[in-house]
Amino acid sequence: MLSTSRAKPCAIERAEEAVSGLTLPQALRAPISRYGLLLPCLLFMLGLFVWPILSLLTGGVHSPEVSQALPQTSRAVLAWNGQGLPDDAAFEALIADLRAADRRAVAEAGRRLNYEIAGYRALILKTAARAASTQGRAGLIAIDPKWGEDGYWLALRRAASPITPRYLLAALDLEVRPDGSIGAAPQDNAIFLGVLGRTLWISLVVTVSCLLLAFPVAYHIASSSPRWRNLLLLLVLLPFWTSLLVRTSAWVVLLQDNGMINSVLLRAGLIETPLRLIFNRTGVYISFIHVMLPLMVLPLYSVMSSISKEYLRAAFSLGASGPRAFFKVYLPLVWPGIWSGTLLTFVVCSGYYVTPLLVGGNTDQMMSYFIAFYTKQTVNWGLAAALAIILSLAILLVTGLYALVGRRQTIVVKG
Protein backbone atom coordinates (compact mmCIF):
# COMPACT_ATOMS: atom_id res chain seq x y z
CA MET A 1 0.00 0.00 0.00
CA LEU A 2 1.27 3.42 -0.93
CA SER A 3 1.73 5.88 1.93
CA THR A 4 -0.49 8.95 1.79
CA SER A 5 2.32 11.16 3.10
CA ARG A 6 4.48 12.71 0.40
CA ALA A 7 8.10 11.53 0.55
CA LYS A 8 10.65 14.23 1.18
CA PRO A 9 13.19 14.90 -1.58
CA CYS A 10 16.49 13.19 -1.15
CA ALA A 11 18.36 16.50 -1.05
CA ILE A 12 16.31 17.72 1.92
CA GLU A 13 16.83 14.42 3.75
CA ARG A 14 20.57 14.59 3.23
CA ALA A 15 20.63 18.23 4.46
CA GLU A 16 18.66 17.30 7.58
CA GLU A 17 20.96 14.39 8.31
CA ALA A 18 24.01 16.62 7.90
CA VAL A 19 22.63 19.26 10.24
CA SER A 20 21.54 16.72 12.84
CA GLY A 21 25.07 15.33 12.88
CA LEU A 22 26.67 18.67 13.75
CA THR A 23 27.75 19.51 17.24
CA LEU A 24 26.52 22.74 18.87
CA PRO A 25 29.70 24.79 18.10
CA GLN A 26 29.59 23.58 14.49
CA ALA A 27 25.90 24.44 14.18
CA LEU A 28 26.56 27.97 15.48
CA ARG A 29 29.59 28.43 13.25
CA ALA A 30 27.57 27.91 10.06
CA PRO A 31 25.28 31.00 10.35
CA ILE A 32 28.22 33.09 11.62
CA SER A 33 30.26 32.24 8.53
CA ARG A 34 27.25 32.93 6.32
CA TYR A 35 26.65 36.38 7.84
CA GLY A 36 30.36 37.03 7.74
CA LEU A 37 30.12 37.24 3.96
CA LEU A 38 27.97 40.34 4.41
CA LEU A 39 30.46 42.00 6.76
CA PRO A 40 32.51 43.82 4.06
CA CYS A 41 29.37 45.29 2.52
CA LEU A 42 28.07 46.28 5.95
CA LEU A 43 31.33 47.97 6.89
CA PHE A 44 31.38 49.79 3.56
CA MET A 45 27.84 51.09 4.13
CA LEU A 46 28.59 52.15 7.69
CA GLY A 47 31.85 53.88 6.83
CA LEU A 48 30.90 55.66 3.62
CA PHE A 49 27.16 56.16 3.98
CA VAL A 50 25.73 55.88 7.48
CA TRP A 51 28.56 57.52 9.45
CA PRO A 52 28.89 60.66 7.24
CA ILE A 53 25.14 61.22 7.35
CA LEU A 54 24.96 60.80 11.12
CA SER A 55 27.96 63.11 11.53
CA LEU A 56 26.14 65.79 9.55
CA LEU A 57 22.85 65.33 11.39
CA THR A 58 24.47 65.62 14.82
CA GLY A 59 25.48 69.15 13.85
CA GLY A 60 21.85 70.12 14.23
CA VAL A 61 22.04 69.75 18.01
CA HIS A 62 25.80 69.80 18.70
CA SER A 63 27.60 73.15 18.60
CA PRO A 64 30.85 73.00 20.63
CA GLU A 65 32.65 76.00 19.07
CA VAL A 66 32.22 78.36 22.04
CA SER A 67 32.82 75.76 24.74
CA GLN A 68 36.03 74.59 23.00
CA ALA A 69 37.45 78.07 22.33
CA LEU A 70 36.32 79.62 25.63
CA PRO A 71 36.17 76.80 28.20
CA GLN A 72 36.60 78.91 31.35
CA THR A 73 34.15 81.52 30.14
CA SER A 74 31.60 78.85 29.26
CA ARG A 75 31.71 77.39 32.75
CA ALA A 76 31.43 80.85 34.31
CA VAL A 77 28.42 82.01 32.28
CA LEU A 78 26.62 78.69 32.66
CA ALA A 79 26.94 79.06 36.44
CA TRP A 80 25.64 82.64 36.21
CA ASN A 81 21.92 83.14 36.90
CA GLY A 82 21.43 85.45 33.92
CA GLN A 83 20.43 88.48 36.00
CA GLY A 84 22.33 91.72 35.38
CA LEU A 85 25.99 91.32 34.46
CA PRO A 86 28.09 88.29 35.50
CA ASP A 87 30.67 88.68 38.27
CA ASP A 88 34.28 89.74 37.77
CA ALA A 89 35.38 86.10 37.50
CA ALA A 90 33.52 85.76 34.17
CA PHE A 91 35.30 88.85 32.79
CA GLU A 92 38.66 87.48 33.88
CA ALA A 93 37.85 84.08 32.42
CA LEU A 94 36.99 85.64 29.05
CA ILE A 95 40.29 87.55 28.99
CA ALA A 96 42.24 84.41 29.91
CA ASP A 97 40.49 82.32 27.25
CA LEU A 98 41.06 84.91 24.54
CA ARG A 99 44.74 85.06 25.42
CA ALA A 100 45.13 81.27 25.28
CA ALA A 101 42.96 80.48 22.26
CA ASP A 102 44.28 80.58 18.70
CA ARG A 103 42.71 82.96 16.21
CA ARG A 104 40.96 80.24 14.21
CA ALA A 105 39.14 78.88 17.28
CA VAL A 106 38.12 82.40 18.29
CA ALA A 107 36.84 83.04 14.76
CA GLU A 108 34.74 79.83 14.89
CA ALA A 109 33.32 80.85 18.26
CA GLY A 110 32.60 84.31 16.88
CA ARG A 111 30.78 82.82 13.92
CA ARG A 112 28.60 80.81 16.28
CA LEU A 113 27.94 83.88 18.44
CA ASN A 114 27.10 85.88 15.35
CA TYR A 115 24.01 83.69 14.93
CA GLU A 116 22.82 85.00 18.30
CA ILE A 117 23.61 88.70 17.74
CA ALA A 118 24.77 90.20 14.46
CA GLY A 119 28.22 91.69 14.78
CA TYR A 120 29.35 89.47 17.67
CA ARG A 121 32.13 87.96 15.57
CA ALA A 122 33.73 91.36 14.99
CA LEU A 123 33.40 92.12 18.70
CA ILE A 124 35.09 88.91 19.84
CA LEU A 125 37.92 89.23 17.27
CA LYS A 126 38.58 92.84 18.26
CA THR A 127 38.64 91.89 21.93
CA ALA A 128 40.95 88.92 21.28
CA ALA A 129 43.43 91.20 19.47
CA ARG A 130 43.71 93.46 22.54
CA ALA A 131 43.28 90.85 25.28
CA ALA A 132 46.99 90.63 26.05
CA SER A 133 47.02 94.16 27.51
CA THR A 134 43.55 94.06 29.09
CA GLN A 135 42.73 93.62 32.77
CA GLY A 136 39.35 92.99 34.40
CA ARG A 137 35.85 94.25 33.79
CA ALA A 138 36.87 97.85 33.14
CA GLY A 139 39.41 96.78 30.55
CA LEU A 140 36.86 94.80 28.51
CA ILE A 141 34.33 97.63 28.63
CA ALA A 142 37.07 100.03 27.57
CA ILE A 143 37.70 97.89 24.47
CA ASP A 144 34.00 97.99 23.59
CA PRO A 145 31.04 99.24 25.69
CA LYS A 146 29.00 96.25 24.48
CA TRP A 147 30.73 94.13 27.14
CA GLY A 148 28.80 96.19 29.65
CA GLU A 149 25.45 95.12 28.17
CA ASP A 150 23.80 92.03 29.58
CA GLY A 151 22.39 91.04 26.16
CA TYR A 152 25.82 90.07 24.87
CA TRP A 153 26.55 88.00 27.97
CA LEU A 154 23.17 86.30 27.70
CA ALA A 155 23.95 85.43 24.09
CA LEU A 156 27.31 84.02 25.21
CA ARG A 157 25.49 82.00 27.87
CA ARG A 158 23.08 80.54 25.28
CA ALA A 159 25.95 79.52 23.03
CA ALA A 160 28.19 78.15 25.80
CA SER A 161 26.52 74.75 26.01
CA PRO A 162 27.75 72.25 23.37
CA ILE A 163 24.19 70.87 23.08
CA THR A 164 21.80 73.44 21.69
CA PRO A 165 18.18 73.35 20.46
CA ARG A 166 18.65 76.61 18.57
CA TYR A 167 19.01 75.13 15.09
CA LEU A 168 16.12 72.70 15.43
CA LEU A 169 13.90 75.47 16.76
CA ALA A 170 14.90 77.70 13.84
CA ALA A 171 14.07 74.88 11.42
CA LEU A 172 10.59 74.77 12.99
CA ASP A 173 10.19 78.58 12.78
CA LEU A 174 10.69 78.95 16.54
CA GLU A 175 13.28 80.83 18.58
CA VAL A 176 14.57 81.17 22.12
CA ARG A 177 13.61 84.57 23.48
CA PRO A 178 15.89 86.63 25.77
CA ASP A 179 13.95 85.48 28.84
CA GLY A 180 14.59 81.83 27.92
CA SER A 181 11.09 81.04 26.67
CA ILE A 182 10.37 79.51 23.27
CA GLY A 183 8.11 81.36 20.87
CA ALA A 184 7.36 81.87 17.20
CA ALA A 185 10.11 83.42 15.11
CA PRO A 186 9.53 86.79 13.41
CA GLN A 187 7.49 86.55 10.25
CA ASP A 188 10.48 87.48 8.06
CA ASN A 189 12.41 84.46 9.39
CA ALA A 190 9.53 81.98 9.62
CA ILE A 191 9.93 80.28 6.25
CA PHE A 192 11.00 76.70 6.85
CA LEU A 193 7.64 75.13 7.72
CA GLY A 194 6.27 76.60 4.51
CA VAL A 195 9.24 75.20 2.60
CA LEU A 196 8.69 71.78 4.18
CA GLY A 197 5.01 71.84 3.22
CA ARG A 198 5.95 72.90 -0.31
CA THR A 199 8.47 70.05 -0.56
CA LEU A 200 5.94 67.43 0.51
CA TRP A 201 3.22 68.89 -1.73
CA ILE A 202 5.40 68.97 -4.86
CA SER A 203 6.53 65.41 -4.13
CA LEU A 204 2.92 64.28 -3.71
CA VAL A 205 1.73 65.92 -6.95
CA VAL A 206 4.66 64.48 -8.91
CA THR A 207 4.09 61.01 -7.42
CA VAL A 208 0.37 60.95 -8.26
CA SER A 209 1.04 62.30 -11.77
CA CYS A 210 3.73 59.68 -12.37
CA LEU A 211 1.38 56.93 -11.20
CA LEU A 212 -1.38 58.02 -13.60
CA LEU A 213 1.06 58.24 -16.50
CA ALA A 214 3.12 55.14 -15.70
CA PHE A 215 0.24 52.73 -15.13
CA PRO A 216 -0.87 52.44 -18.78
CA VAL A 217 2.76 52.47 -19.96
CA ALA A 218 3.70 49.60 -17.64
CA TYR A 219 0.55 47.68 -18.60
CA HIS A 220 1.31 48.08 -22.30
CA ILE A 221 4.89 46.89 -21.82
CA ALA A 222 3.78 43.88 -19.74
CA SER A 223 1.15 42.95 -22.38
CA SER A 224 3.52 43.25 -25.37
CA SER A 225 5.34 40.44 -27.07
CA PRO A 226 8.87 39.68 -25.81
CA ARG A 227 10.50 41.49 -28.76
CA TRP A 228 8.56 44.71 -28.29
CA ARG A 229 8.80 44.41 -24.53
CA ASN A 230 12.60 44.55 -24.60
CA LEU A 231 12.52 47.57 -26.92
CA LEU A 232 10.03 49.45 -24.76
CA LEU A 233 11.99 48.67 -21.60
CA LEU A 234 15.09 50.02 -23.33
CA LEU A 235 13.26 53.28 -24.04
CA VAL A 236 12.18 53.50 -20.38
CA LEU A 237 15.73 52.91 -19.15
CA LEU A 238 17.32 55.27 -21.66
CA PRO A 239 16.92 58.41 -19.47
CA PHE A 240 18.98 56.72 -16.73
CA TRP A 241 21.96 56.75 -19.09
CA THR A 242 21.74 60.52 -19.54
CA SER A 243 22.99 62.98 -16.95
CA LEU A 244 20.28 64.52 -14.78
CA LEU A 245 21.82 67.93 -15.36
CA VAL A 246 21.62 67.44 -19.13
CA ARG A 247 17.99 66.31 -18.99
CA THR A 248 16.96 69.24 -16.81
CA SER A 249 18.89 71.71 -18.96
CA ALA A 250 17.08 70.33 -22.01
CA TRP A 251 13.77 71.24 -20.39
CA VAL A 252 15.05 74.76 -19.82
CA VAL A 253 15.55 75.03 -23.60
CA LEU A 254 12.18 73.47 -24.41
CA LEU A 255 10.07 75.43 -21.91
CA GLN A 256 11.42 78.94 -22.35
CA ASP A 257 9.30 81.64 -24.02
CA ASN A 258 10.95 81.16 -27.42
CA GLY A 259 11.50 77.44 -26.92
CA MET A 260 10.27 74.57 -29.03
CA ILE A 261 6.97 74.04 -27.19
CA ASN A 262 5.83 77.67 -27.42
CA SER A 263 7.06 77.92 -31.01
CA VAL A 264 4.96 74.92 -32.09
CA LEU A 265 1.87 76.20 -30.27
CA LEU A 266 2.26 79.67 -31.80
CA ARG A 267 2.69 78.31 -35.32
CA ALA A 268 -0.33 76.05 -34.88
CA GLY A 269 -2.40 79.06 -33.84
CA LEU A 270 -3.35 77.49 -30.49
CA ILE A 271 -1.97 80.43 -28.50
CA GLU A 272 -1.35 84.09 -29.27
CA THR A 273 1.35 84.80 -26.69
CA PRO A 274 4.00 82.45 -25.28
CA LEU A 275 2.98 80.46 -22.21
CA ARG A 276 4.93 80.87 -18.98
CA LEU A 277 6.34 77.35 -18.64
CA ILE A 278 9.71 78.05 -17.03
CA PHE A 279 10.85 79.40 -13.66
CA ASN A 280 7.49 78.55 -12.08
CA ARG A 281 5.68 75.56 -10.60
CA THR A 282 4.55 74.33 -14.01
CA GLY A 283 8.12 73.87 -15.19
CA VAL A 284 9.01 72.10 -11.94
CA TYR A 285 6.15 69.63 -12.35
CA ILE A 286 6.93 68.90 -16.03
CA SER A 287 10.65 68.32 -15.54
CA PHE A 288 10.13 66.39 -12.29
CA ILE A 289 7.61 64.02 -13.87
CA HIS A 290 10.00 63.38 -16.75
CA VAL A 291 12.82 62.55 -14.34
CA MET A 292 10.75 60.40 -11.98
CA LEU A 293 8.58 58.50 -14.46
CA PRO A 294 10.99 55.54 -14.93
CA LEU A 295 11.09 55.04 -11.16
CA MET A 296 7.34 54.44 -11.28
CA VAL A 297 7.21 52.39 -14.49
CA LEU A 298 9.72 49.75 -13.47
CA PRO A 299 8.09 48.61 -10.17
CA LEU A 300 4.67 48.52 -11.85
CA TYR A 301 6.01 46.53 -14.78
CA SER A 302 7.78 44.01 -12.54
CA VAL A 303 4.46 43.19 -10.83
CA MET A 304 2.24 43.34 -13.92
CA SER A 305 4.50 40.99 -15.86
CA SER A 306 3.95 38.29 -13.23
CA ILE A 307 0.13 38.50 -13.25
CA SER A 308 -1.54 35.83 -15.33
CA LYS A 309 -4.20 36.96 -17.81
CA GLU A 310 -6.34 34.06 -16.67
CA TYR A 311 -7.48 36.07 -13.65
CA LEU A 312 -9.21 38.69 -15.78
CA ARG A 313 -10.61 36.04 -18.10
CA ALA A 314 -12.07 34.25 -15.11
CA ALA A 315 -13.61 37.50 -13.87
CA PHE A 316 -15.18 38.19 -17.26
CA SER A 317 -16.49 34.63 -17.48
CA LEU A 318 -18.19 35.11 -14.12
CA GLY A 319 -20.05 38.14 -15.43
CA ALA A 320 -17.86 40.99 -14.17
CA SER A 321 -17.79 44.15 -16.24
CA GLY A 322 -14.52 45.75 -17.35
CA PRO A 323 -14.33 48.36 -14.56
CA ARG A 324 -15.42 45.85 -11.92
CA ALA A 325 -12.81 43.31 -13.04
CA PHE A 326 -10.16 46.02 -13.00
CA PHE A 327 -10.93 47.37 -9.51
CA LYS A 328 -11.82 44.07 -7.86
CA VAL A 329 -9.30 41.72 -9.47
CA TYR A 330 -6.47 43.42 -11.33
CA LEU A 331 -5.83 46.49 -9.17
CA PRO A 332 -5.42 44.52 -5.90
CA LEU A 333 -2.90 42.26 -7.65
CA VAL A 334 -0.91 45.31 -8.85
CA TRP A 335 -0.99 46.91 -5.41
CA PRO A 336 2.59 45.84 -4.41
CA GLY A 337 3.93 47.60 -7.51
CA ILE A 338 1.85 50.71 -6.80
CA TRP A 339 3.03 50.76 -3.19
CA SER A 340 6.72 50.38 -3.97
CA GLY A 341 6.64 52.71 -6.99
CA THR A 342 4.85 55.57 -5.25
CA LEU A 343 7.01 55.25 -2.14
CA LEU A 344 10.23 55.23 -4.15
CA THR A 345 9.13 58.19 -6.28
CA PHE A 346 7.97 60.25 -3.30
CA VAL A 347 11.14 59.71 -1.25
CA VAL A 348 13.51 60.43 -4.14
CA CYS A 349 11.52 63.47 -5.23
CA SER A 350 11.56 64.95 -1.70
CA GLY A 351 15.33 65.21 -1.70
CA TYR A 352 15.92 66.52 -5.23
CA TYR A 353 17.95 69.69 -5.66
CA VAL A 354 18.99 70.29 -9.28
CA THR A 355 15.59 70.18 -11.00
CA PRO A 356 13.76 72.90 -9.01
CA LEU A 357 16.94 74.97 -8.93
CA LEU A 358 17.16 75.16 -12.74
CA VAL A 359 13.51 75.32 -13.79
CA GLY A 360 11.78 76.71 -10.69
CA GLY A 361 11.35 80.22 -9.38
CA ASN A 362 12.08 81.66 -5.96
CA THR A 363 8.83 80.27 -4.54
CA ASP A 364 9.39 76.79 -5.99
CA GLN A 365 12.62 75.81 -4.20
CA MET A 366 12.43 72.76 -1.98
CA MET A 367 14.11 71.95 1.33
CA SER A 368 17.21 70.56 -0.37
CA TYR A 369 17.95 74.02 -1.81
CA PHE A 370 18.08 75.58 1.65
CA ILE A 371 20.20 72.74 3.02
CA ALA A 372 22.71 73.35 0.21
CA PHE A 373 22.48 77.12 0.71
CA TYR A 374 23.33 77.00 4.40
CA THR A 375 26.05 74.44 3.74
CA LYS A 376 27.88 76.21 0.91
CA GLN A 377 26.88 79.87 1.01
CA THR A 378 26.56 80.90 4.66
CA VAL A 379 28.52 77.90 6.05
CA ASN A 380 25.87 77.46 8.74
CA TRP A 381 26.27 73.72 9.12
CA GLY A 382 24.12 73.62 12.25
CA LEU A 383 21.02 75.02 10.53
CA ALA A 384 21.67 72.88 7.43
CA ALA A 385 21.84 69.77 9.64
CA ALA A 386 18.67 70.78 11.49
CA LEU A 387 16.80 71.22 8.20
CA ALA A 388 18.06 67.80 7.09
CA ILE A 389 16.80 66.29 10.36
CA ILE A 390 13.36 67.87 9.96
CA LEU A 391 13.12 66.73 6.33
CA SER A 392 14.26 63.20 7.22
CA LEU A 393 11.77 62.94 10.08
CA ALA A 394 8.94 64.21 7.87
CA ILE A 395 9.79 61.64 5.17
CA LEU A 396 10.07 58.86 7.77
CA LEU A 397 6.68 59.85 9.21
CA VAL A 398 5.02 59.85 5.80
CA THR A 399 6.73 56.58 4.91
CA GLY A 400 5.64 54.98 8.19
CA LEU A 401 2.02 56.02 7.72
CA TYR A 402 2.12 54.84 4.12
CA ALA A 403 3.63 51.52 5.22
CA LEU A 404 0.76 51.01 7.67
CA VAL A 405 -1.78 51.70 4.93
CA GLY A 406 0.08 49.40 2.56
CA ARG A 407 0.21 46.63 5.15
CA ARG A 408 -3.52 46.89 5.83
CA GLN A 409 -4.23 46.87 2.10
CA THR A 410 -2.05 43.80 1.63
CA ILE A 411 -3.90 42.02 4.43
CA VAL A 412 -7.24 42.90 2.84
CA VAL A 413 -6.04 41.62 -0.56
CA LYS A 414 -4.75 38.36 0.92
CA GLY A 415 -7.94 37.95 2.92
Predicted confidence (pLDDT) per residue in 323-341, tens digit: 899 888 899 899 989 999 9
Mean local confidence (pLDDT), 132-158: 91
Domain at 269, CATH number: 1.10.3720.10
Range name among 166-170, 242-246, 277-281, 331-335 with the lowest pLDDT average: 242-246
Same domain, 142 and 272: no
Residues 290, 377: one domain?
Answer: yes
Q: Which of 144, 164, 184 is the last residue of a domain?
A: 164
The answer as to whether 103 is a domain residue is yes
When pLDDT is cut at 50, 70 and 90, the band that residue 4 belongs to is: very low
- How many whole angstroms separate alpha carbon 385 and alpha carbon 398? 20
Same domain, 245 and 338: yes
Q: Which residues pair with 175 in a beta bridge?
A: 183
* Least confident residue range of 51-55, 218-222, 283-287: 51-55
Residue 113 has pLDDT above 90, yes or no: yes
Number of domains into which the chain is organized: 2
Q: Is the pLDDT of residue 22 over 80?
A: no
Residue 59 has what pLDDT? 87
- Taking all residues of the chain, what is their mean pLDDT, rounded to a whole number? 86
Query: Is residue 184 a part of any domain in this protein?
Result: no
- Asked if residue 273 and residue 324 are part of one domain, the reply reads yes
Same domain, 159 and 231: no
DSSP state of 38: T
In a domain, 11, yes or no: no
- Would you say residue 127 lies in a domain? yes
> Could you tell me the residue range of the domain that residue 381 belongs to?
192-414
Residue 1 belongs to some domain of the structure: no
- pTM of the prediction? 0.82
Using an 8 Å Cβ cutoff, are 282 and 256 in contact? Answer: no
Q: Which residue has the higher pLDDT, 12 or 361?
A: 361
Q: Quick one: 303 and 403 in the same domain?
A: yes
User: Of 125, 146, 164, which residue is a domain's last?
Assistant: 164
Q: What is the rounded distance in angstroms from the CA atom of residue 335 to the CA atom of residue 410?
A: 8
Instruction: Please give the pLDDT value at position 1.
Output: 40
**Range in 15-19, 56-60, 72-76 with the lowest mean pLDDT:** 15-19
- Asked, for residue 35, whether it belongs to a domain, the answer is no
Q: Quick one: 123 and 199 in the same domain?
A: no
Closest CA to 247 of 216, 293, 199: 293
Regarding whether 247 and 124 lie in a shared domain, the answer is no
Is the same domain home to 274 and 334?
A: yes
Same domain for 121 and 225, yes or no, is no
Classify residue 173 as left (phi > 0), alpha (psi -120 to 50) or beta: left
User: Are residues 221 and 311 located together in one domain of the fold?
Assistant: yes
Q: Is residue 75 part of a domain?
A: yes
Q: Which of 148, 164, 180 represents a domain boundary (last residue)?
A: 164
Same domain flag for 258 and 123 = no
Q: Report the amino acid identity of residue 221.
A: I
Q: Please give the span between the terminal C-alpha atoms of the chain, in angstroms, as a whole number.
A: 39
Please check whether residue 360 lies inside any domain of the structure: yes
